[in-house]
Structure 1
Amino acid sequence: MRLFTVKYLTANLLTRLLTCSLIYLVISTQALASTNKYLSHKLAGNTVVISTNLATVTLNAYGEGAIAIHYQSHKDKLPASQLPSFAIKEHAVTSRFVIKENNEQLTLTLNKLSAVINKSPFSISYYQKSNDQENKLLIAEEQGFFSGTVNEVTENPALEGSSTLTKVTKKLAVQGFRFTLNDSEKLLGGGERVLGMNRRGHSFPLYNRAHYGYSTQSEQMNFSIPAVMSSNKYIVLFDNSAKGYMDLAKKEQNILEFSAVAGRMAYIVFSADTYPKLLNNYVDVTGKQPLPPRWSLGNFASRFGYRSEAEVRATVNKFIDLDFPLDALILDLYWFGKDIKGHMGNLAWDKNAFPEPEKMIADLKAQGVKTILITEPFVLSTSSKWQDAVEQQALAQDEHGNAKQFDFYFGNTGLVDVFNKKGRDWFNDIYKTLYQQGITGWWGDLGEPEVHPSDTLHTLDDGTVVNADAIHNVYGHQWAKMVFEHQLKMNPEQRPFILMRSGFAGSQRYGMIPWTGDVSRSWDGLKPQVELSLQMSLLGMAYTHSDLGGFAGGEKFDQEMYIRWLQYGVFQPIYRPHGQDNIAPEVVFHDQETQDILRKFIKLRYKLLPYNYTLAYENSTTGMPLMRPLFFAQELDQKDENYLASFDNASSYLWGDALLVTPVVAANVSSVAVNLPAGVWFDYFTHDNQPAKKYQGGQTINLPTSLATLPVLVRAGAFIPMIDDIQSTQDYDASQLTLHYYADKSVTSANYEMYEDDGKTYQAIEQGLFELLQFSAKQQNNHLSIKLNRTGNGYKGMPKERTMTVVIHNIGQAPNKITLNNKVINNAIWQAKDHSLTVTFTWQHQPLTLTIQ
């Protein structure tokens, strides 16, 4: 569900939603650093507390490469300034600084990262010790903590029904931090924006807000992350939940500025020698994404929306009858009301449309299909649950202590206060009832919140009362935490599934799966999707994905655009076609050619489950995203002239380490330009009966494509494990495993580790309930050996043995001899037409060596 659908909008409402904007302009700042002077410091546990004449500054070290800084001004005693960190994970363990001091400076060192505090005037600079033992300046406070004012300019229609805009200006007091950048570094970050990968030179709001129907440009969307990642291998995170803005050297050259109207004045600096390690340091502090259930990597049926039980059953049966795998069906707002307006907050089944919901859910589950429900945090004053929510004090309040009421598109409403135990308990009772009915996953919509008046008051569990602006950006974050923790309380063994469109830095630790909002159903809507997912993934939100096929608008079905979007979706974290139902989002409702092309791709998605699930494991243990920018592949050779240029590349990306994907984002394309990282690459979709075409890396190639294929390359030396076709992950069977290896003489050795567990147990990794299948290859001249090994404690239902089919690509001639643990085997098949060798054998998980000569 979304806030609106085109056919229901009045012209005035559409004008309001598409043209209203907020503009933030800093008109004055007052530096505190110039008059701020060090007085003294003390050590409290691992925390360094510095007293200055203007503030108390605390510094904490975390992990191997993160330093958190909190400024508490002596003048600011407002409750919002005392808010806790929402970014830092619960029960985070601090590390110990090595402290050195002289008359001018205080130096705090954590591993290779140092904070150098200049005593007068007070400021902090951050240095990273490189491998050659030199200290490199990463970033430095330019003014440190500052205060100032901002003009907030709101553009609204002048009159009801008018398209003429009028500007309303409001002056706001802000506080924040200013940092000095170097001339050449590039900056990524800010969360969901469509601005290009390098966001240096841009300024934008920090205020989660929906952008309906966006396409190739957007400065403000559903999910702000107040952080930047630099090409100099550091991250700065502004640890503040309030309404604010970021300026990435737009207003002033080489100045990075964060500010907010309220809240905690704090930031965290992360650094490392490599990008994977930098991400690891980031998630060590903000939290790692729990491993999702395996079924979440399957195919979803979703639309705005299914209106009846009969429609749901018919849709699922159509997927099965037409031989399309399916794992989940998502119900939009019609499950609790027949109309768009007037029912929000009921959150109980409309029995006219869904007469037997529990039986329906059970029957779908028997077919391998999970049921996911939309919920929203708004309770209309006309809904059946309004009075109960008021009596239970579940809603955010106004200045008089009453439930805060305001009007928005769906009617007069209140907002559940998820920051308060009473609000959470009331909301959780609803989730409990639905879970007991068989619901497997949750969809939280409108959680920016969509409408959030500034004078709305939220009460924290400790009794602190803050207004909406102070915690706006963490509403969705707190809501996800509530759902996550309650789900585990109801069933500690089941992995939660939580789809949400808004959150904050660190929301990944609550299993949040975000999407990129109400994108235009058009080529222009498809174009920015790689940028959006990469930007979010680089700051922890690795499951960010798009409504495949586009959501908003569209006059008629565009077959080519639809196919290209769903092809790309095979190599994005979640496979979920979704859109307004004037055009069917589901492939089963389209023509046979569309179905025949996409059936192969959706089945490929399922065949790749062992590979994709291993990517999920890597993310949960290290923070590595599933979708990876090309500069990850080029960072080891920073002298390469393509290294900095690769920061701007949102045309291609790596899906794991093995696959290089370039989505087709324009009509009538017969080839795409691909910038190849170093190494040797093979065309993954080479036509049958032909050897895979090989390309040398370090150059730009034009890769041919047709509507039936997607431009995908596979790295020489890559292992890709696959399974046979299945109807849903309920049928997942890793006892029959096909292992592809892409051999090339340029790769003398290669290693790969495949993760397996039961696909559902919460904290299977932490409990050791898994196995790791380890594959390695060595090639010298015409001799290739592939070793297989298995480690791990195992899990319930683990195969005792596996039927292994090893397919080795790029074998130019029939082998003279093939042995398995030194025993000659004769059942291998070499295909001259495509230069592949297939060997099948039974593996009981003992160490094995397959040798080809």
Structure 2
Amino acid sequence: MRLLFVLLALCCSGATLAAQYQQHSLNGNQLSINTDEGQLSLTFFQSDVVEAFYQPTGVKQLPSFSISQQPEPVTLNISETASQLTLASDSLTVTIDKAPIKLSYYRADKLLLSEEQGYVQQPEQQSHGFRFMLSPDEKLLGGGQRVLGMNRRGEKFPLYNKAHYGYSTQSSQMYFSLPLLISSNKYMLLFDNSAKGEADLGHSQADILQFSAEGGRSSYVVVAADSYSELVTNYTSLTGRQPLPARWTLGNYASRFGYRTETEARDVVKKFRDLRLPLDAIVLDLYWFGPDIKGHMGNLAWDLNAFPKPEQMLADFTADGVNTILVTEPFVLTSSKRWQEAVAAGAIAPGLDGKPKTFDFYFGNTGLIDVFNPKARDWFWPIYQGLAEQGVAGVWGDLGEPEVHPDDTVHAIGMANEVHNAYGHQWADMVYSGMRQHFPAQRPFIMMRAGNAGSQRFGMVPWTGDVERSWGGLKPQVELALTMGLSGFGYIHSDLGGFAGGEQFDAELYIRWLQYGVFQPVFRPHAQEHIAPEMVFHDKHTIDTLRPWLNLRYQLLPYNYTLAYQNSTTGMPLMRPLFFMADDLANITDLMEEKNSYLWGDAFLVAPVTEPGVTSWPVQLPGGVWFDYFSGQRYAGANKVELPVTLDTIPVLVKAGSFVPMAPLVQTTRDYSSKKLTLHYYADASVNCAKGEMYEDDGKTPDAVAKGQFELLNFYYLQQDGEQKFELRRSGDYAGKPESRELTLVVHNQTATPEHISVDGRYIQLVPQQARFNRMQNVAWYDKANRQLKVKLDWQADKVQLLVQK
């Protein structure tokens, strides 16, 4: 009777009995285990990255969309007892219980993660997945775009990319789901599956983590490391890193829903230029291919009534340093000009009857391009190629969840629910691969709303969707950006100012959102057109308030471009959580919950103001010493502080020991140059030595790092025996590199007038007035009021040493 009860319980839960070990073999990086239910393989891609791939007999397996790395050479040792196998690399050990099969993962003898039941089938739900044990105090970050708080432990949510129009302070399902978790126990767990599914992070059972999906791939990957930043580096080695974007990606965009005519597009660019507000890109929404919102999607060609001379317009914009980005969608309406062409090419995904699947959604009756089908890609890509040949600089892929995706849609490799979450990923792959093949001298720009784990390797620039234009819409943007950044998507950003709704212009909300935008990866105000998203259409006070912020964005190009370089080489996001900088374990776990303050690179700490009418704003400090960017006020410790704010300021702090390179203001990155460079250093007695770097190339050559076509500027500081020593080094070469730089070193928090300053042993004159300093070369000036030492020098040599004696 007891046995019958157990069997009934298993049947009701949908879980199959676990597999039993039969035999194993080790071949290089892979351990293969035969069981009575199929095969299990353990593949080490790195010493601390291992995939467990269950292949039960008779279960269909789709390819991995996430993994791009070829396994590195890893030395593995295996041992066996009657009940267990142990497989170990230098840094990660996997124990395999034989009866039933169960895997546990250890790092330096510490248990990271253990299967509770391992692979689980749920026949009545037509799904399969995995169950793992959770430790009592473990915190879990990740899961893609959600507004649930940084720690998602205790939550259950769908793994299904789906639009959430007008979201604000809470959302459990959004545009970009990711079956990826980051644990406070210093591991990452990737469920390598593209199908519709669900994640239960201790919601149904407090100590159980479960992934499930309707088909797909029964595989997961464990990533381990000694630090959280190394976790991101190891994970992006596995899934691919974001290619370095063109420098213009970091500039200002004119964008709205949408510009209806060529005249309107030209006028907005002219207005930015007339008002001397920097601009690098214009984004054309769906009116470029049709006069109305409905009925034209899939035309994918210029509406010559509204845009009569598109190639001339593109050429004029390019000559003015403005790059044009066009929206495209994966839907072809039956009313569009290309419907019959797409059907004849076999580009439309069929239904169960084998005929092109059609269905109704907001924009009209439509079919969906099957980006998994080579025939569809052969039809779709040449359209992008033609636009790029006309001068289009970037692609915007919208609605790529796909926004509407009927279950009975048949794709080349599986049904809709099996491949749903990989649709945007496959679309981005097509565009990126085509651009690299046909336009090898151009860095692709691909902005998309949805994708899969690993989509960052195709240069995907995602955004946080159709956010409500409200204070509630602004509040979750840091949480969304940090979560996606930790997952490999360094260029996640929001529609600045908010997109959806809003009855009238709220100047304070708009200003606060764009101030935050200066310190997010992409500066792109975008909204429904009844309230202008571009600052040029607002009142003088709004423009005057925001002008210095937009200018600061451009002056920070050397710093921001270096963050882009670091992201492309290490996977480190541009926006980083505070716990990356904490060194106390208790402080780290507390900071994992922080969703309002964040790091912009290593130097800046930013806390966007997300409430109206405030005169002060709380900022969480992660430890160490920080200076208010505006006032110079010094703060220290791992505590929360209140910073005074006006409408002109938000809390922006700079870490003691930071080097921040800045360049002269330009109106477009086309005119950017680091020939004149201001290097800020934030000195403090608590920091005896420090270093920084700056990356430079021509801003456009693909694979510049791999080709060696770049320059690195390295900065070093040493405080010793009452002396401050700076060493500046430069190495590398690229076309257009300045042979020398007019460098102004600004040392902040300099408490006294120096007694002696020398550069490479040559005395530097300390002048008494700023006016003389501005006129002369190779001089210094001490600004007593602001406690700043400024030294101007001509930097030509590969190495320069500057000595300041107090």
Q: Same fold (TM over 0.5)?
A: yes
Deviation for aligned residue 1:30: 3.7
Whether the aligned pair in 1 keeps the contact of 2:490 and 2:521 (CA below 8 Å) is: yes
* Counterpart position of 2:619: 674
Alpha carbons 2:255, 2:533 under 8 Å: kept: yes
Look up the SS of the partner of 2:508 in the other structure. Answer: helix
| Residue 94 of structure 1, CA deviation | 6.2
Counterpart for residue 61 of structure 2: 82
SS at 2:375 equivalent: helix
| Contact 1:377/1:415 (<8 A) preserved | yes
Structure 1, 543-552 or 838-847: larger mean CA deviation:
838-847
> Tell me, what secondary structure is at the counterpart of 1:784?
strand
Alignment partner, residue 124 of structure 1: 103
Q: 1:310 is matched with which residue?
A: 263
CA-CA distance at 1:101 after TM superposition: 1.8
Q: Cα deviations across residues 614-652 of structure 1 (Å, max 9, x unaligned)?
A: 111111111111101011111x321xx322111110010
Match of 2:395 among 442, 459, 480: 442
Mapping 1:167-566, distance limit 5 Å: 172-460=125-413, 466-566=414-514
Map Cα deviations across residues 383-435 of structure 1 (whole Å, 9 max, x no partner).
11000101110111112221111111111111111111110110111111111
Deviation at 1:780, TM superposition (A): 2.8
Residue 660 (str. 1) matches residue 605 (str. 2)? yes
- Does structure 2 conserve the Cα–Cα contact (< 8 Å) formed by 1:61 and 1:96? no
CA distance in 2, matches of 1:747, 1:297: 31
Question: What is the letter of the counterpart of residue 53 of structure 1?
Answer: D
Deviation readout 1:349-377 (Å, 9 max, x if unpaired) = 01111000000010011111000000000
2:4 corresponding residue in structure 1 = none
Q: CA deviation at 1:95?
A: 3.6
CA distance in 2, matches of 1:100, 1:531: 44
Say whether residues 1:647 and 2:600 are aligned partners: no
- Distance (whole Å) between structure 2 residues aligned to residue 103 and residue 532 of structure 1: 48
User: What residue ranges of structure 1 are gaps of 5+ in the alignment?
Assistant: 1-25, 130-134, 150-170, 461-465, 687-691
Q: Provide the alpha-carbon RMSD of the alignment.
A: 1.3
Residue 173 of structure 1: CA displacement? 1.8
Paired position in structure 1 for 2:15: 31
SS in 1 for 2:266: helix
Aligned to 1:48: 31
SS in 1 for 2:440: coil
Following superposition, the deviation at residue 111 of structure 1 comes to: 2.4
**Other-structure match for 1:772:** 712
Q: In structure 2, what is the Cα distance between the partners aligned to 1:624 and 1:55?
A: 38
The answer on whether the counterparts of 1:299 and 1:325 sit within 8 Å (CA) in structure 2 is: yes
Please give the alpha-carbon distance, in whole angstroms, between the structure 2 residues aligned to 1:405 and 1:614: 47
Residue identity over aligned pairs, in percent, reads 56
1:423-453: CA deviation from partner (whole Å, max 9, x where unpaired): 0110111111111110000000000001000
Report whether the alignment pairs 1:585 with 2:533: yes
> Quick check: 608-617 or 55-64, which moved more?
55-64
In structure 1, give the amino acid aligned to 2:755. Answer: N
TM-score, scaled to structure 2: 0.96
- Measured after TM superposition, the shift of residue 72 of structure 1 is 0.9
Matches of residues 679-690 of structure 1 in structure 2 within 5 Å?
679-686=624-631
CA contact (8 A) 2:18 2:117 kept: no
- Amino acid of the structure 2 residue aligned with 1:713: L
Deviation at 1:28, TM superposition (A): 4.4
* Matched position secondary structure for 2:233: helix
Question: Alignment partner of 2:105: what SS?
Answer: strand
Range that drifts further, 667-676 or 94-103: 94-103
Structure 1 contact 207–224 (Cα < 8 Å) conserved: yes
Question: Residue type matched to 1:598 in 2?
Answer: L
- Where does residue 164 of structure 1 map in the other structure? none
Aligned match of 1:147: 121
* 1:461-515 deviation line (CA, Å, top 9, x unaligned): xxxxx11000000000000000000011111121100000000100000000100
Q: Which amino acid aligns with 2:36?
A: N
Give the 3-state SS of the residue equivalent to 1:175 in structure 2.
strand
Corresponding position of 1:15: none
CA offsets per residue over residues 229-249 of structure 1, 9 Å max, x none? Answer: 001100010001000000000
Q: Distance in 1 between matches of 2:411 and 2:604?
A: 46
For residues 318-368 of structure 1, the C-alpha deviation after alignment (integer angstroms, 9 at most, x for no partner) is: 001111100000000000000000000001101111000000010011111
Contact 2:591 2:622 in 1 (8 A): no
How many residues are treated as equivalent by the alignment?
Answer: 783
The separation in 2 between residues aligned to 1:509 and 1:73, in whole angstroms, is 30
Distance 1:774 1:379, change over 3 A: same
1:791 aligns with 2:708: no
- Partner-residue secondary structure (3-state), 1:752: strand
In structure 1, the partner of 2:775 is: none
In the alignment, which residue of structure 1 is the partner of 2:41?
58
Q: Secondary structure at the match of 1:605?
A: helix
CA separation in 1, counterparts of 2:278 and 2:458? Answer: 28
The residue aligned with 2:786 is: 834
The separation in 1 between residues aligned to 2:722 and 2:508, in whole angstroms, is: 44
- Does structure 2 conserve the Cα–Cα contact (< 8 Å) formed by 1:28 and 1:148? no
Q: 2:584 aligns with which of 637, 642, 648?
A: 637
